Every structure is written in structure tokens, then in C-alpha cells.
Amino acid sequence: MKEYTAFDIGGSFIKYGIVTENGDLREQDKMETPDSFEVLIQRITDIVHRHPDSTGIAVSAPGAVSDEGIIYGISALRYLHGPNIKHRLEEKTGLPVLIENDGNCAGAAEIWQGTAQGKKDVLTVVIGTGIGGTVIKEGRTHKGANLHGGEFGFMLLGNPDTGRLESWSQLAATRALTRYAEREKGVEADTLTGEQVFELADEGDPVCVKAVDRFYRFLALGLYNLQYIYDPELILIGGGVSAREELVRCINEKLDDLLREAPVGTIRPALDVCHFRQYANLLGAVYRFIQNTPASWMNNM
């Protein structure tokens, strides 16, 4: 059975492990993210050399990742942007390398082994301090002309509180939830966490009840729009908020309201939560490797 060495590059840590062609994750571990590009390449190379049976290297990375192996855009690791990481790793290891955007990797994991198995047209929406995600059409990731496919957080919506257009991230990410609650309570910024706002709402705090209600309303608005833009079979929700048992039910209640308010739209988004959490990017990177590595490479391994 073929095995692949997978890496998930984050701002603070790099997760890594051995993933089989069947999607089994073995020997997972992590290391602190190096502070330079050359050290990063050497650390990855050292780990790969410790696993001589590896068929290839699959890397999940932040930023706008091109097929050629160059990462554009911005991220917490500035040294990633510019060098051709794919070529450098292939030269150092002699193995084929695939590098993919971390959000796209998470979506690929869901198609391969997660909630979206058997589906062809799926969106993943990852909700954190901002909102990102993945567009999967015909079972393959759609990156877009500018490598910004799935950057749903840039969608503009009207904010009834200000009368201005704001991005979906500004209105429906967890940071938006806490900012609204802090402002309405008159407390300093960064006083509350998203989890605290939800807990206070569960206890009946009127400000937090309104903040959570508003949060679900804006989530439903964005998901309604995405349904009509892409018409996916399924929309999966990820990020820390996806652990809340009531999440899908509450969003569906807001979708009921929207469908009554705008009866011209009758298609309800099919919602579910992502199956994978901390290891999704490792699995998804390997699945993208299997999908995209030329057979000529693989036949010579």
C-alpha cells in the first residue's frame, strides 16, 4: 500500500504524518514552525528521509497556492511567498510534491473520507475570526482565475445597523459576534470570547441573545446567497463553531425566515458540519496529491 508524507504548515506549528492511499493517518506529530525558508525546507526534507517508503510529499499551506508551487497573496509566514516550494522540495528529496491551499485541503478531506463522500458539488464554509472555504465542482477543487475560489468572507452584505456594505467576515465570523456583544455591553475589546457569548446567551443575557440571533441571521443570508450562486448539493460548515450541536438547526430557522421574506427563492441549502478537525489538512493534501500527480511520476516510484 502506498504511503505519503503529509505536512500542514501553520503560523505556529507544522503538523505532519504518514497517510496511506486509503486515508489512514499514521505517526502524526508536530514541530514549531521555523523562522526561515531554508530551515523549513531542511526540516521537511529530514522528516521525509526518515520515511524511505514514502511515495510522495503532500503539503497544506496558507495563501493563494498555484499549481506550479508558488504561493501568492499574504499569510502569517511571509517567507512562503515567492520561492517555488514544490521545486525546492522535489530537488531535495527526489519525490513528487503537491502543495495546496489549507482551506482547499480541508474540503478535499471531506470529499475523500468525510461528510461529503459520494458528492460532486460541495461548498465548505469555515468560520473562525474570518470566513473562508472551498468550492468543489465535479469532485475537484475550483481555485478560480485569481486563486481566490472559496474566499467567501469577501462577499458584501448590507448591515442594517449602519446602512453600509460590509463583508460577510465582518458580519458573521466569530470575531463579529464578540465585537457586537462587547460594543452593546460597553466593555473593552477582546473582553469576550465567542464561547463566552454563546454561554451568556444560553443563560438568557439579552445582549448576547441578540448577538447570537444576529450572528445566525447573517450566516443564513450568506449561505442562502451561496446556494443560488453555486447550487451545490451540500454546504459543510467548519471551524470551532461547528462543534455547537444547535448550529445547523439555528441556521435553518433563519433560512425559514428568509424563505418567507423572499418567496421567489425556494431552494433550501442542505447543511451539515465538517467531519474532520485538526488532521483534515493532512488527509486533504494527500487526496489532492493522488488526484493531481501525473501517472508518469507514480509509475516510476
pLDDT digits (tens, 9 = 90+) for 87-121: 999 999 999 999 998 888 989 999 999 999 999 99
More confident call, 299 vs 166: 166
Structure confidence at residue 295 (pLDDT): 54
> What is the CB neighbour count within 10 angstroms for residue 2?
15
Q: Does residue 86 surpass a pLDDT of 70?
A: yes
Give pLDDT, residue 170: 93
**Whole-structure pTM value:** 0.79
Residue 148 is predicted with a pLDDT of: 86
What are the tens digits of pLDDT across the range 127-176? 887 888 899 999 888 988 888 888 898 999 999 888 999 999 999 988 89
Report all structural domains of the chain as residue ranges with CATH numbers, in order of start.
3-100+278-299 (3.30.420.40), 115-273 (3.30.420.40)
**Does residue 76 have a pLDDT over 80?**
no
Residue 225 C-alpha cell reads as: 446567497
Indicate the pLDDT class of residue 71, thresholds 50, 70 and 90. Answer: very high
Taking the alpha carbons at both ends of the chain, their separation in whole angstroms is: 12
Farthest CA pair distance, the chain: 64
Confidence of residue 296 (pLDDT cuts 50, 70, 90): very low
- From 207, 215, 205, select the one nearest 247 (Cα to Cα): 215
**Phi/psi of residue 147, each to 5°?**
60, 25
Higher pLDDT, 299 or 257: 257
Please enumerate in sequence order all residues whose Cβ is within 8 A of that of 249, keeping only pairs 6 or more positions apart, or say none.
none
The alpha carbon torsion through 81, 154, 220, 136 (nearest 10 deg) reads -50
pLDDT in tens, 227-268: 999 999 999 998 878 889 999 999 999 999 999 988 787 899
Q: How far is CA 81 from CA 34, 37, 76, 78, 176, in A?
A: 15, 10, 10, 6, 29
